[in-house]
Structure 1
């Protein structure tokens, strides 16, 4: 990673931490209360709020849910624009869950005021994401390549093939398994 990229990542961590702290304080929650609601440890939350560590996407969703906001509201807000182009190398690096082998990806946003979040993931072949990933609102999962089983808690499991789309609405939890011999490429669209 270049020095500029490391500086950008450090700035992102500080900004995310500041936004989480501000949201927590505006709701008059202690760190212990927020950590319990988000099912994370208070020392980890403290590190996040101080910008020492950047939360995974899974943790960002847990924090957003506990605070009653979309995860994008906890991220730095880009300048408003009617048209936004996000280049292939851009976007905040994210992991799906707090697991070293977790699928990695990018969080892409359409600009300030946009209700749409786009996550671009790569899931290694036969990699099972054991932790549940929680959503609130509407989402569409588009499988660009590979094969993927998507388990929706208490609703069933759907096997997706290239170019299949799975739509979800409400409050739900999912976990994924890449079932083919190649890496699965996934776009996850989320809107509040």
Structure 2
């Protein structure tokens, strides 16, 4: 999605994509080709003038040999300028309900829902709040980290490849190992609210 003016999070995300691209000696055109994106869109993204969907961010992450989470963390660094953060001991912090890296699920403006990262900086695991409206399966995601899903509300199906489709209702959870292809869709209409926790990448 194109933006009229860049916001700080998109500027940070674009700068991180540019930094990683240059570190690998890639041109904009080369990275765009690897990620199956248009060169103009990637240029806008690096300048903070576009907001990627989760699918687009996944393609960029794979092309840069990193993860969506690593790129999201760059968009919302540990010191994000919060005026008066709640007092917590070292190693603890609060993510208010109106904050956290928020990325649309698809290229529509939150039309199919969004993903919100619930931590910032380095962490042992990465929880995300997912609001999902899409009732059709999209492409598979595959990453090396283990993942766990808990359904807060709604009904979803999770396709784990090889004809393994799991139906989940409110209160159900699902764990799968890294390397497992996966994709989700809402069933019975409406909206699903999920908590998804991904293990941290090995350093």
The answer to whether the Cα contact below 8 Å between 1:151 and 1:174 also exists between their aligned partners in 2 is yes
User: Which secondary structure does the structure 2 equivalent of 1:44 belong to?
Assistant: helix
Q: Please report the TM-score for the alignment, with normalisation by the length of structure 2.
A: 0.79
TM-aligned CA deviation for residue 57 of structure 1: 1.9
User: Which secondary structure does the structure 1 equivalent of 2:159 belong to?
Assistant: strand
Matched, 1:157 2:160: no
Q: Which deviates further from its counterpart, 95-104 or 142-151?
A: 95-104
- 2:136 is aligned to 128
Paired residues in the alignment total 184
TM-aligned CA deviation for residue 99 of structure 1: 4.4
Matched, 1:168 2:165: no
Aligned mate of 2:115, from 88, 101, 105: 105
Pairwise CA RMSD of aligned residues?
2.4
Matched, 1:18 2:15: yes
Q: Which deviates further from its counterpart, 67-76 or 40-49?
A: 67-76
User: Which secondary structure does the structure 2 equivalent of 1:177 belong to?
Assistant: strand
Structure 1 residues 46 and 128, CA gap change in structure 2 (3 angstroms): same
Q: Deviations over 1:17-46 (max 9, x none)?
A: 010000000011122221222222222111
- 1:78 is aligned to 78
Runs of 4+ in 1 over 3 A off after TM superposition: 131-136
Q: Please report the TM-score for the alignment, with normalisation by the length of structure 1.
A: 0.83
